[in-house]
Chains A and B, each alone.
Chain A
Amino acid sequence: MAKVLVLFISVFLILQPLRAAQRDRFVFAQLRYDAQWDPYPETWQDILEFLVTTTSIKPEAGRRVVTLEDEQLFSSPFLVIAGTGRFPALSSKERDILRRYCTNGGLVFAEDSSGTRSGAFDVSFRREIARVFPEVKLKKLAAEHPMYRSYYLLRRIGGRRLTNTFLEGIDIAGRTALVYSQNDIIGAWAKDRFGNYLRECLPGGQPQRFEAQKLTLNLIMYSVTGTYKSDAIHQQYILEKLQR
């Protein structure tokens, strides 16, 4: 009995530091669902490293994988949904949760990682989102959207494939609560174990990859600053810089 108790306490003490407090830190959360949900299982590490190196954002170490019914979802204001195949139909309860998450302040970044137009993920995800938000539609984000200016001043968007020259989104109460891409932006980060990029970015090559990386960072920055860069005080500076 004593041995069991010692073992239990030891396991508890070992595991304790793994649950570091999140507090106000950024958390890279990703949705696990019943299909191909994780096309690039390692990219989050490079994304977080890039984030820490270049900005003042303090992220929580590690990626948080959640389901829609996971309590931890509501401790994670930024959620990635990626996939290459069919996105499964959500239950009524799951739809309500996703709707509440977006309405209450969460930001979803969803991406068709196949980088194709009208692929299985694209068709099924659009159908499902139309059920979650029947009153609003995905629409193109304007070139002046604060997401394109939240940190880097982006004049174009990147990705592993240039399927679209724009992102789409759903706005709720003055903020974009869901961003949708078909360019496989996360795929542009994927590396092999020797540090070489795994997949070519077409048609723009490395510059297109860098644009994808900057866009990823802008997305994260938007999730923690909102429409900050739309404030009047920034406009003059931003316009001057864009005209240079």
Chain B
Amino acid sequence: MNWNFSSTGIETAPVSITLAVGIAAAAAGIYIILKRSPRRTLAALRIAAMALALFLLLQPSFVRYNVSKRPALAVAVDVSDSMALSGSMAMARQFIKERKDELEKNFDVRWYSFARAATRVENEAAAFSARRGKSTDITGSLEEIRRENGESLAGILLLSDGNQTETNPGSVGAAVFPVDVRPAARPKDIAVRSVRVSDFAFKGTPIDINVGLHAMGAAGEVVTIQVKKKESAEILASKAVTINSGDETREVPLRFTPSSNDNLDCTVEALPVPGEITLSNNRASFSLEIIKDKVRVLYICGQPGPEYAFLRHRLKNDPLVELVSFVILRNPENIALVPENDLSLIPFPVHELFTRGLYTFDILILENFTYQRFGFYAEHLETIRRWVMEKGGGLLMIGGDNAFGRGGWAQTPVAAVLPVTCDTPQDVFDEALFKPRIASYENPLLQLYDDPKQNRAAWDALPELEGCQALGRKTGSEVLMLHPWKNYVVMACGESGNGRALALGANTTWRWALGSATTESYTRFWKNVVRYLSRTGGQKKLHVAFDQPEYTAGQNFNLKVRYNDDTKAGLLRGYFYEPSGARHELALQKRGAAEWTASGVFKDAGDYRFTLYDTVDGAKKILGTFIRAAGASGEKEDSALYFNEEALKKLAVSSGGEYYGAGSFSAEKLRGKTIKTATKTAKNSLALWHSPLLLATIVLLLLAEWILKKRAGMA
């Protein structure tokens, strides 16, 4: 038993200071008394009383440490399925068999078994014979052990494979000492650990899938990975890979091309190899939304300038757009100072583009472009009109000196589909900076944000445009923006036959990108334009996100739905079918302008089919159907049959413990590590500052001073 002096009042050197003051005061007192001076005697008494009072203010106490010869050590044995299946349990059993005496000689050993939760058991035999667990919560179990033992626990010796299947962000609060119990001979197992794939794909365009594969004890085996349709089991992609080592993790790339417009629910399966210990980790699922095709945009610009550079960059960076563009870099009047071979120019393929070629595009953008100088025939112009009216193409004409009437378009068949009346070459091109007057913030083309206030604020914050063509209103078209004082139409849209057309009288929208705090509004505006002109939207309206990538039976789920309906604010509803066929309504709660949440439970293992629908004008419109699979409880254990050394090392470091590799464990070494913890925690203290004796001493010293003063006639 040790007694140490401590003070809780001040952290740094309080005791030594107090003692030094006390000793100095006492020494001074003795010296003064020895001098036999009554005045100095009085001063000495006062100083002694004050020093003692100061000493007590620091709350001194004597601390008694109980240093046990055998500190308490919890031995925690992981009894989850993964330990048994992987062979780690046998290794842990062997470890205890060999080290039990050594442990009990050095420690007061407390035995625990754990999987999802910890249980105190009598001895090691009971620990290993405990019921196997279907899931593992290492952190939670160890925290429970620490709580049960309090601060007397010197540490936790952990015998586990390190695979935690339950989410638990907590910390243990005690030093953890994991031991390497990986099996000498690995059992054979092939596991699909992850599937990396985009959540949408285009019909007719190959999509890449990267399958994360883990193979254990299967060196030299050939494993076949297949991607199948969930419903029909039709094989979409397949690849055979040879496993090179006994413990191998690799990514297997696969590719297939969706051939229909239907969304796909798929499974990825590693076909079983003979002798696998479990097959429940050989599969994974994913869903793909199939988009008809990328929106194909043909962008023709008459003169290089910032508008072209900015809009081209925007369209090129849109994954849903396939852009083909031409910009006129040289006019006939420009001089070539080098041979043609030293120029990067290519001929402008007017005939190819404006006959059949145009029919392969969804959108045509003509920016500051005149047809008059590039060999257009009347038939090419008629093709543009027919492409809009009959094929349903989307035409956008953007202003400039060569656009609309100035570019000679007023007298062409193209003018018939434009949603504005063209200017004439004699009309004044207003060159001033201006903020367009928005005619309708509610129009989907001008909805930068769902929230009306935020949308209006975004438009207000955009920088001014510069220069506007004198365009006029056209019957049947919708005016979206007007020039604030000239009343020219800045932007208008309209339907033309099967197609749509949009007119923009200014080619300075690049200012919205460069001059704003971010390019967000500019990007949203042009996305809206592409959506409008292509009709398809080209964008995913319905986004569903679950709170976990995988579920097992019995788990709750939370899902978030984003539904961007650009036509009407519909009423979103949903339901789901259990594997047994029982139907349940989804209790969707509206959380924002376009956001809903819902929750529920996957009661049994199997596929759950969710359906979301909208009820616009009383009619039910199915928005999407998707499947989520819930694995059988214990499947997570089966999918984690490798020894997770990295996780165990992390746990050791974060808790202040140490990881013991194969053969490096020694109970004495462990005791050396834990003894400090034990000394610090097992304390018993005697508080001096509570002592009535010392308080009485102060009173007596002051009383003595007062009596002496009185006697000496100094009071």
Interface contact B344-A151, CB-CB below 8 Å: yes
Interface contact B331-A54, CB-CB below 8 Å: no
Q: Which of B306, B325, B330 contacts A228 (CB 8 A)?
A: B325
Q: How far is the CA of A24 from the CA of B517 in the complex (A)?
A: 21
A227: nearest chain-B partner, CB-CB = B316
Q: Mark A1-44, 1 if CB is under 8 A from B, else 0.
A: 00000000000000000001111111000000000000000000
Determine if A237 is an interface residue (Cβ-Cβ < 8 Å).
yes
Taking the closest CB of chain B, its distance from the CB of A163, in whole angstroms, is 24
Identify which of residues 49-93 in chain A touch chain B, using a CB-to-CB cut-off of 8 Å: 53-58, 74-75, 77
Identify which of residues 127-179 in chain A touch chain B, using a CB-to-CB cut-off of 8 Å: 149-153, 173-175
B569 neighbours in A (Cβ, 8 Å): none
Q: How far is the CA of A58 from the CA of B517 in the complex (A)?
A: 28
Q: A24-B507, A56-B334 are in contact. Are A105 and B309 (CB under 8 A)?
A: yes
Interface contact B329-A55, CB-CB below 8 Å: yes
Q: How far is the CA of A233 from the CA of B298 in the complex (A)?
A: 12
Identify which of residues 364-391 in chain B touch chain A, using a CB-to-CB cut-off of 8 Å: 368
Q: Which of A26, A55, A75, A231 contacts B511 (CB 8 A)?
A: A75
A23 neighbours in B (Cβ, 8 Å): 400, 431, 466-467, 507-508
Q: Mark B295-330, 1 if CB is under 8 A from A, else 0.
A: 000000011111111101100110000001101111
Identify which of residues 214-243 in chain A touch chain B, using a CB-to-CB cut-off of 8 Å: 214, 221, 223-229, 231, 233-234, 237-238, 241
Determine if A125 is an interface residue (Cβ-Cβ < 8 Å).
no
Determine if A193 is an interface residue (Cβ-Cβ < 8 Å).
no
A175 neighbours in B (Cβ, 8 Å): 313
Q: How far is the CA of A22 from the CA of B305 in the complex (A)?
A: 11
A224 neighbours in B (Cβ, 8 Å): 304-306, 308-309
Taking the closest CB of chain A, its distance from the CB of B324, in whole angstroms, is 7
B305 neighbours in A (Cβ, 8 Å): 24-26, 57-58, 224
B582 neighbours in A (Cβ, 8 Å): none
Determine if B198 is an interface residue (Cβ-Cβ < 8 Å).
no
B334 neighbours in A (Cβ, 8 Å): 53-56
What range describes how many residues of B lie at the interface? 35 or more
Determine if A106 is an interface residue (Cβ-Cβ < 8 Å).
yes
Determine if B336 is an interface residue (Cβ-Cβ < 8 Å).
yes
Determine if A180 is an interface residue (Cβ-Cβ < 8 Å).
no
A103 neighbours in B (Cβ, 8 Å): 519
Determine if A100 is an interface residue (Cβ-Cβ < 8 Å).
yes
Determine if B484 is an interface residue (Cβ-Cβ < 8 Å).
no
A150 neighbours in B (Cβ, 8 Å): 344
Interface contact B517-A152, CB-CB below 8 Å: no
Taking the closest CB of chain B, its distance from the CB of A214, in whole angstroms, is 8
**Taking chain B's interface residues, is the majority helix, strand, or loop, or is none over half, making it mixed?**
loop
Taking the closest CB of chain B, its distance from the CB of A217, in whole angstroms, is 10
B344: nearest chain-A partner, CB-CB = A149
A20 neighbours in B (Cβ, 8 Å): 431
Q: How far is the CA of A75 from the CA of B512 in the complex (A)?
A: 10
Interface contact B330-A56, CB-CB below 8 Å: yes
A25 neighbours in B (Cβ, 8 Å): 305
Interface contact B317-A226, CB-CB below 8 Å: no
Taking the closest CB of chain A, its distance from the CB of B450, in whole angstroms, is 24
Interface contact A221-B329, CB-CB below 8 Å: yes
Interface contact A54-B325, CB-CB below 8 Å: no
Interface contact B513-A54, CB-CB below 8 Å: no
Determine if B510 is an interface residue (Cβ-Cβ < 8 Å).
yes
Interface contact A106-B317, CB-CB below 8 Å: no
A21: nearest chain-B partner, CB-CB = B431
A56: nearest chain-B partner, CB-CB = B331
A238 neighbours in B (Cβ, 8 Å): 344
Taking the closest CB of chain A, its distance from the CB of B517, in whole angstroms, is 7
Q: A224-B309, A226-B309, A228-B325 are in contact. Are A153 and B368 (CB under 8 A)?
A: no
Taking the closest CB of chain B, its distance from the CB of A140, in whole angstroms, is 21
Taking the closest CB of chain B, its distance from the CB of A42, in whole angstroms, is 21
Taking the closest CB of chain B, its distance from the CB of A209, in whole angstroms, is 13
Q: Which of B316, B324, B328, B463 contacts A233 (CB 8 A)?
A: B324
Interface contact B316-A244, CB-CB below 8 Å: no
Interface contact B309-A174, CB-CB below 8 Å: no
Determine if B696 is an interface residue (Cβ-Cβ < 8 Å).
no
Interface contact A231-B510, CB-CB below 8 Å: no
Q: A23-B466, A23-B507, A24-B305 are in contact. Are A56 and B514 (CB under 8 A)?
A: no
Q: How far is the CA of A175 from the CA of B513 in the complex (A)?
A: 15
Q: How far is the CA of A174 from the CA of B337 in the complex (A)?
A: 31
A222: nearest chain-B partner, CB-CB = B309
Q: Which of A149, A152, A227 contacts B338 (CB 8 A)?
A: A152
Q: How far is the CA of A224 from the CA of B367 in the complex (A)?
A: 14
Interface contact B304-A234, CB-CB below 8 Å: no
* Pairs across A and B, CB under 8 Å, 22 listed: A23-B507, A26-B304, A54-B337, A56-B304, A56-B331, A56-B334, A77-B514, A104-B513, A104-B518, A104-B519, A106-B514, A151-B345, A152-B338, A152-B344, A153-B344, A174-B316, A223-B309, A224-B309, A225-B308, A225-B309, A226-B316, A234-B344
Nearest 5 CB-CB pairings of A with B = A21-B431, A24-B305, A224-B304, A23-B467, A74-B515
